[in-house]
């Protein structure tokens, strides 16, 4: 598997940089993970983020979504900020839990699945995605956590040169001790949900896979499309 920035986070970082370009201020990116996360953080710096923090410790392994939010909270609580942006969810686990949980720990408002942000003094007026193309507009008091939906912007192209340039910037590394956490407060020992096992989804309907060379399979498929009423 290729290690890459989470799809949703890519849009969140771009949105943060767009807001900075419009209103000034600075953007700090925070990520939890081992050394392979460095590349992702460099990419964020190359996108236009000013500071990067990596949270890493052996003890963090096995943390569930709620515990991950707790670790982020310890890193963020004493920083100054107007807005915290996260992705709606991660493309691997898809919990969709970290952003709103972090907001609760920080005791600040949040809203999720954001597709547009307008800043109005002490408030953000945002559009959230509902189902079937419907959206709603809500106003949220700042500071707040907004979880960003894909498609909110068009993430800029980051050149290799840009990433190289960002290589000189310092990435701050914080572990258990620096965050003032104890081992029993993080990782599997603190997590109240536990992944017991992974298994392949049961097959409900197996597609008939057409066999043969491209000529053969497309001939067969064209006939199937015709038989099923797909030729007008």
Partner 1 sequence: MAKIFVLAEHRRGSLRDITWEMLTKGRELASSSGAELVALLLGFGVRDFAEELAQRAEQVLLVESERLENFNGAIYQKVLTRLISEYRPELTLIGHTSFGMELAPSLAAQLAIPLSTDCIDLHLEGEKLTTIRQKYTGKVNSEISFPGARQYMVTVRAGSFPMEGEGTYHREIKSLSLPVEETADKTFIEYIDAVVGEVDITQSDILVSVGRGIGDSKNIPLVSGLVEALGATLSCSRPVVDKKWLPKERQVGTSGKTVKPKVYIAIGISGAFQHIAGIKGGTIIAINKDPKAPIFRVANYGIIGDLFKIVPLLKERVSELKAG
Instruction: Kindly tell me which of 75 and 88 has the beta carbon lying closer to partner 1.
Output: 88
User: Residue 207 Cβ, how far from partner 1 at the closest point, in Å?
Assistant: 4
Tokens of 178: 């620096």
Tokens of 76: 């963020």
Instruction: Kindly tell me which of 34 and 221 has the beta carbon lying closer to partner 1.
Output: 221
Terminal Cα-to-Cα distance of the chain (whole angstroms) = 42
User: Residue 210 Cβ, how far from partner 1 at the closest point, in Å?
Assistant: 5
Which residues have C-beta within 8 Å of that of residue 88, sequence separation ≥ 6? 8, 96, 99, 112, 113, 147, 148, 149, 150
Instruction: Kindly tell me which of 11 and 60 has the beta carbon lying closer to partner 1.
Output: 11
The three-state secondary structure class of 2 is coil
Tokens of 25: 């201020």
User: Residue 220 Cβ, how far from partner 1 at the closest point, in Å?
Assistant: 9
User: Residue 175 Cβ, how far from partner 1 at the closest point, in Å?
Assistant: 24
Count CA atoms closer than 13 A to 184's CA, side-chain side.
Answer: 0
Q: Give CA–CA dist 163/168, Å, rounded.
A: 9
Burial of 51 (C-beta count, 10 Å sphere; 0-12/13-18/19+): middle
Instruction: Kindly tell me which of 41 and 74 has the beta carbon lying closer to partner 1.
Output: 74
Instruction: Kindly tell me which of 1 and 161 has the beta carbon lying closer to partner 1.
Output: 1
User: Residue 52 Cβ, how far from partner 1 at the closest point, in Å?
Assistant: 25
Q: If residue 52 lies in a helix (H) or strand (E), which one and from where to where?
A: strand 51-55
User: Residue 23 Cβ, how far from partner 1 at the closest point, in Å?
Assistant: 21
Instruction: Kindly tell me which of 54 and 153 has the beta carbon lying closer to partner 1.
Output: 153
Which residues have C-beta within 8 Å of that of residue 124, sequence separation ≥ 6? 83, 117, 118, 139, 140, 142, 144, 146
């Amino acid at each position: 598997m290729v290690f890459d920035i989470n799809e949703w986070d890519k849009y969140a970082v771009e949105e943060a940089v767009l807001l900075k370009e419009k209103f000034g201020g600075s953007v700090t990116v925070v990520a939890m993970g081992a050394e392979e996360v460095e590349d992702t953080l460099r990419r964020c710096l190359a996108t236009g983020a000013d500071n990067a923090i990596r949270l890493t410790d052996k003890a963090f392994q096995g943390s569930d979504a709620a515990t991950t939010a707790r670790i982020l909270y310890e890193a963020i609580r004493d920083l100054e900020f107007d807005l915290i942006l996260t992705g709606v969810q991660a493309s691997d686990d898809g919990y969709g839990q970290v952003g709103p949980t972090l907001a609760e720990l920080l005791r600040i408002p949040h809203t999720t699945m954001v597709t547009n942000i307008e800043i109005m003094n002490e408030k953000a007026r945002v559009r959230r995605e509902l189902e079937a193309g419907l959206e709603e507009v809500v106003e949220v008091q700042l500071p707040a956590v907004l979880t960003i939906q894909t498609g909110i912007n068009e993430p800029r192209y980051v050149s290799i040169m840009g990433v190289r340039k960002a290589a000189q910037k310092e990435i701050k590394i914080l572990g258990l001790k620096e965050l003032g956490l104890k081992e029993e407060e993080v990782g599997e020992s603190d997590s109240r949900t536990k992944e017991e096992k992974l298994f392949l989804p049961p097959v409900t309907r197996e597609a008939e896979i057409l066999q043969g060379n491209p000529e053969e399979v497309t001939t067969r498929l064209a006939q199937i499309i015709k038989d099923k009423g797909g030729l007008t």
